[in-house]
Each structure stands twice: as C-alpha cells, then as structure tokens.
Copies of this chain bind each other. A is one copy, B any other.
C-alpha cells in the first residue's frame, strides 16, 4: 500500500485552501447581497475606486485579481445603479475613467465598516493562528511564481 492509496481529499492542501476560501466568500457574498445588493466583483471595484481614485478598467484588472471582462461588466452594473460614472481619459481616449459618484461614496462609507467587522470576526475565530495564515497567504500571493 502506497501513500496514494491513503490519499484523503480533506488533507490535500489545494483542496483545503479552496474549500476555506469558498466558505468565507459565500458568507461574505450573502451578507453583501442582502444588505447592499451588490456582488463581490462590484464590491471589489467600489473599494478599489475608493482607495485609488479615478482608475481605468486595466488598472483594476491589474490590482484586484479580476479579468477585464469581469471588471467591465461590474462597472456597467455599478454605472446603471448610479454608484460610478464612466468618463473618457482625455490624454488616451482608449482608457475609461471610472469614478465614484456621491451615491457611490456614500455606499462605500457603509460598506467598509461591515468589511472590517467581517475581517475582525475572521481574526477572532482564528485567534493566534491568524498571523501564520496571513504569512502563508502572502507567500502564495507573491509574484515570483
């Protein structure tokens, strides 16, 4: 009998990572959909706009781990909902200038405390293990791979 014969999916690191992320994302997503009516892609765009100011679709794609088509569709939904505007960059007219509206800023002001609270709950649940988890995630997210 080899190691492979004892292989247990629930001890397999890639599976465990994915299962944990799915659970967290699902709970987070439900909360945001119920309370604010937005999806995770939309949430990411809103938060990045708040953090970085006016940006293009390409900028978001690079910074927020989303395909450009996903960014584009999220931005369109946010524009329809009145949370952002789409302008044109005068020096390079291929580029969009995504900008939060006042309504969008107000939404982000309500979103962020909920996000911080959620993160705090996660860290509380993890206790002293939080530090190790975050260090591991940093290693996986670093670019040299």
Contact = CB atoms under 8 A, between A and B. Distances in A.
A106 interface: no
Contacts of A86: none
A23 to B, nearest CB: 7
Given A4-B116, A25-B14, A109-B4, A137 B20 contact: yes
Contacts of A122: 13-14, 140
Interface stretch (A74-82, A91-99, A123-131): A123-131
Interface residues of A, number: 56
The main secondary structure of chain A at its interface with chain B is helix
B14 A134 contact: no
Contacts of A48: 9
Which of A15, A23, A48, A112 lies at the interface centre, i.e. has the most chain B CB atoms within 10 A of its CB?
A15
Interface in A17-76: 17-25, 28, 44, 47-48, 50-51, 63-65
